[in-house]
Amino acid sequence: MLILFGMPIAQILIFGYVVTNEIRDAKIAILDFSRDDITREITNKLTSSGYFQVYEVLKSNHDIEPALQRGIVKEVVVFEHDFADNIKRNGSAKVQLIADASDANHANLIVNYTRAIISDYAKDLAGIQNMPLQIVPKVRMLYNEELKGAFMFVPGTMALILMLVSAMMTSISIAREKELGTMEILLVSPLKPVQIILGKVTPYIGIAFINAVVIVLLGIFVFKMPIMGSNTLLMLECLLYITMALSLGILISTMSNSQQVAMFISMLALLLPTMLLSGFIFPIDNMPLVLQWLSYIIPPKYFIIILKNVMLKGTGIFFVWKETLILLSMTIFFIALSVRKFKTRLE
């Protein structure tokens, strides 16, 4: 019943809300060298549009990079010195838009919205002052200058594939043993449950890790994706994510007695959320609040953030320790839960 009626409703809602290309309250930072009436008015226009929210006000050029690296601010708007004077004197002034293009589509949207608002304002101003004037936006896409889609898809695909290989395969292979009855024999044997689980899981750690390396290599050599950060950190984070996915797989297998059930749960509980709610395809910032909350419990979300940071922004553990910690605690939580489930099943 739940599946028959609940599924369509959940999917329509999720798809309907997730699959939008609007932006909403995108967080931006302002670096205003001029601080005059016009720059203040433009800033107000941006915030009152409902699309943007000024998250912080920067003081110098040196603040731009760190602001974007932290990943909250998606765009920095820089007004040049003597902005208003330039307009009055030359009829033209420059504004620079620096966007975080580790999510290429999102960056494009944000920049276009900003441009539209600014040019609207320029037209109004021209009408009032009755003279031709121009505000020239200069755009820079940081971390992905050419807006390559691959830069966005490689981390997402990695999160998806590692999740599938690790969680789905483990859960299916353990469920298979149960279905065939061999699990019973193993449990009666002197093997400890931990040994059985480790035995089932070890091959998949290897397979998933090889997959991770292959995807990274493909990204580097085929899509010319740079790895800005440390390779060791990248691999360690992959290993952590794989372990997390494996423990999730074990958890699923304790809940299912047949391969079909394991497959179905994996599909429903892992594949769809990983595609829709992890920020892989659709930016989380633009989702309704409820779905944003939901995305907090989706592990791949954190992995994608980590990957983008390490691969595109070149940040170290210092910037992703929070996400790493979350993944780590999720792993421990899943392992603890599945060990408990595994034991009670024996009772």
Partner 1 sequence: MENRGVVIQARNMVKKFGHFTANDNLNFDVYKGEIFGFLGANGAGKTTAIRILCGLSAPTSGKITVAGYDVHRQTESIKKNIGYMSQKFTLYDNLTVWENIRFYAGIYGMKLSAIKVKTDRLMKNLDLEHARDKRIASLPLGWKQKLAFSVAIFHDPKIVFLDEPTGGVDPITRRQFWDMIYETAHSGITVFVTTHYMDEAEYCDRVSIMVDGRIDALDTPAKLKKNYKAKTMNDVFLKLARGENVCPDSYRELNS
Q: Which of 190, 221, 289, 318 binds partner 1 (CB under 8 A)?
A: 190
Query: Does residue 75 sit in helix, strand or coil?
Result: strand
| Between 117 and 196, CB nearer to partner 1 | 196
Torsion of CA 35, 36, 37, 39, to 10 degrees: -60
Q: Which of 112, 129, 134, 189 binds partner 1 (CB under 8 A)?
A: 189
CB count within 10 Å of CB 232 equals: 8
User: In angstroms, what is the minimal distance from the CB of 209 to partner 1?
Assistant: 24
Rounded CA separation 245/253 (Å)? 12
65 binds partner 1 (CB under 8 A): no
Q: How many residues bind partner 1 (CB under 8 A)?
A: 13
Q: Which of residues 72-91 bind partner 1 (CB under 8 A)?
A: none
Query: Are 315 and 68 in contact, with CB atoms under 8 Å apart?
Result: no
| Between 230 and 257, CB nearer to partner 1 | 257
CA of residue 68 relative to chain centroid, distance: 15
| Between 138 and 192, CB nearer to partner 1 | 192
Query: Are 121 and 134 in contact, with CB atoms under 8 Å apart?
Result: no
| Between 24 and 345, CB nearer to partner 1 | 345
| Between 243 and 256, CB nearer to partner 1 | 256
Q: Which of residues 317-346 bind partner 1 (CB under 8 A)?
A: 346
DSSP at 63: G
Q: Which of 130, 188, 221, 289 binds partner 1 (CB under 8 A)?
A: 188
| Between 18 and 183, CB nearer to partner 1 | 183
User: In angstroms, what is the minimal distance from the CB of 180 to partner 1?
Assistant: 6
| Residues sharing a CB contact under 8 Å with residue 261, sequence separation 6 or more, in sequence order | 175, 255
1 binds partner 1 (CB under 8 A): no
| Between 185 and 332, CB nearer to partner 1 | 185
Query: Does residue 10 sit in helix, strand or coil?
Result: helix
Query: Does residue 215 sit in helix, strand or coil?
Result: helix
Query: Are 104 and 139 in contact, with CB atoms under 8 Å apart?
Result: no
Q: Which of 185, 210, 297, 325 binds partner 1 (CB under 8 A)?
A: 185
Rounded CA separation 80/96 (Å)? 8
Residues in the chain: 347
Q: Which of residues 165-184 bind partner 1 (CB under 8 A)?
A: 180-182, 184
DSSP-assigned letters across all residues of 156-186: HHHHHHHHIIIIIHHHHHHHHHHHHTHHHHH
Task: State which H helix or E strand residue 234 sits in.
Answer: helix 231-255
User: In angstroms, what is the minimal distance from the CB of 333 to partner 1?
Assistant: 26
| Between 132 and 190, CB nearer to partner 1 | 190
Which of 334, 332, 289, 284 has its CA nearest to residue 304?
Answer: 284
186 binds partner 1 (CB under 8 A): yes
| Between 177 and 323, CB nearer to partner 1 | 177
Q: Which of residues 106-125 bind partner 1 (CB under 8 A)?
A: none
φ, ψ of residue 26 in degrees (nearest 5): -65, 135
187 binds partner 1 (CB under 8 A): yes
Tokens (6 digits) for 21: 């290309």
User: In angstroms, what is the minimal distance from the CB of 176 to partner 1?
Assistant: 10
> Which of 39-47, 57-65, 188-196, 322-330 is the region at the interface with partner 1 (rule: CB under 8 A)?
188-196
Tokens (6 digits) for 240: 């952590």
User: In angstroms, what is the minimal distance from the CB of 195 to partner 1?
Assistant: 9
What does R_g of the chain's alpha carbons equal in angstroms? 25
235 binds partner 1 (CB under 8 A): no
User: In angstroms, what is the minimal distance from the CB of 170 to partner 1?
Assistant: 17
Question: Where on the chain is the footprint of partner 1 (CB under 8 A)?
Answer: 180-182, 184-191, 346-347
